[in-house]
Amino acid sequence: MKRLIIFAFFKSFSLSEPPNELFDQANKLYIQESYIESIKLYENILENNKGNSKIYYNLGNAYFRINKVGLAIWSYKNALRLNPRNKDISYNLTIAENYKVDRVTMPYTSFLLEKYRQVRMYLTADEWKLFGSLLFFALALNSLFRKMAILKNRFSSNISQVLIIFIISVHILILDKYSQEKKSYDEAIFIKKTNALSGPLSDNHQILFEVNEGSLAEILRVNDDWVYIILLDGNTGWVKSETIRFIK
């Protein structure tokens, strides 16, 4: 047990140093309007390090400036996953989405589901985990106090009931959030205009539909350098894997 704790602490502090020098350099390049160079730097940072929402956000801006709407949307989505309450990211994402050619109408969702999604979106998975653990801690304290009879009235027993309900629902939400994040590894954004075919070969398959950059697709299957995708409106087809970029 002790070892585990030590290990956990050790791990939490042994994270690599933030690459602020490179980041500053890339930001300077962005300000000087040499967007392509700044993109190279940002991508380089992301290649060697774990993501940070600021890097993804700035990368998205740079892509947007050179009219790569698909890649910009990809970056903003990644940024928003790491920092869901940032207003700048969501604002830029809506602007970039506005430049998309395809306007796939989202399937209708009920009001409650919409609210639930907003709540789920409000915290990151780890923040939700922390929240859940704090609730659990509160329950533990409450039960300790009750045992020690510091609190022993109807109010405290109500609290523990409410807490249990909260804990169960929050943990269900955490599970859902994790499964959604797991799933989002199979999500991708189109980074260029491409034709979706009926099979994974360009010669003898028919073109089913055309997808413009920026569209979100779910990956169903991967076959060498071809992937089978499904769009939000339910259309499925095979595209070359180089035309899409997976959301991390």
Partner 1 sequence: MVRNIIFIFSFLGILLSQNISISVDKNTIDEGDVIQLSIEASGSSSFAKVDLSLLEQSFEILGGPYEKSSMQFINGRMNQTKTLTWTISPKKTGLIAIPGLKGIIDGKPFVGKTFNIMVNKTGESNSEQSVFILAELDKDSAYLGEQITLTYKLYKDINTNISGIEQFQMPDFNGFWVEEIFTPQRLQYQKQNVIFKGIEYQVANLGQRALFPISSEKHIIPSVKLKTQIEIKRKKNSRDPFFDPFFDSFFNKTQTKYLKSNEKFITIIPFPDPRPDNFFGAVGSFKIHSEIDQEEVVINEGFTFKISLKGTGNLGLFTLPEIKFPNGLDAFPPNDSFKKDAFRNEITGSQELEYVLVPRKEGNFKIPSVQISYFNLKTKTWSQIGTNQYTISVKGDINQVVELSGLSKKEIELIGKDIRFINTEKIISLNPGYNLSIYAYLIYLLSGILFIIPITLARFTNYRLFTADDRKMKNALKISLKILENNNRYPFENASKAIYTYMHNRFLLKNKNLDPVSVNEMLQNSIDKILLSELIDLLKICDAGKYGPNASVKEDIIISKAKNILISLNKSLK
In the complex with partner 1, which residue's Cβ is closer, 64 or 238?
64
Question: In angstroms, what is the minimal distance from the CB of 16 to partner 1?
Answer: 7
Tell me the backbone φ, ψ of residue 100, rounded to 5 degrees.
Answer: -65, 150
Q: Say how far apart CA 225 and CA 244 lie, in whole Å.
A: 11
**How do strand 187-190 and strand 216-223 relate by DSSP bridges?**
antiparallel
First to last CA, the chain: 32
Can you tell me whether residue 19 is helix, strand or coil?
coil
CA angle in degrees (0–180, nearest 5) for 228-230-231: 140
Rounded (10°) CA dihedral 126, 217, 49, 88: -70
Nearest to 215 by CA among 119, 97, 127, 87: 97
Question: In angstroms, what is the minimal distance from the CB of 55 to partner 1?
Answer: 7
In the complex with partner 1, which residue's Cβ is closer, 24 or 242?
24
Question: In angstroms, what is the minimal distance from the CB of 95 to partner 1?
Answer: 5
Question: In angstroms, what is the minimal distance from the CB of 40 to partner 1?
Answer: 15
In the complex with partner 1, which residue's Cβ is closer, 81 or 227?
81
Question: In angstroms, what is the minimal distance from the CB of 151 to partner 1?
Answer: 10
In the complex with partner 1, which residue's Cβ is closer, 18 or 223?
18
Q: CA–CA distance from 89 to each of 31, 41, 60 (Å)?
A: 18, 20, 9
In the complex with partner 1, which residue's Cβ is closer, 125 or 208?
125
Binding stretches for partner 1 (CB under 8 A): 1, 5, 8-9, 11-12, 15-16, 18-20, 23-24, 27, 30-31, 49-52, 54-55, 57-58, 61-62, 64, 67, 82-83, 88, 91-92, 94-96, 98, 101, 103, 124-127, 129-130, 132-134, 136-137, 139-141, 143-144, 147-150, 152
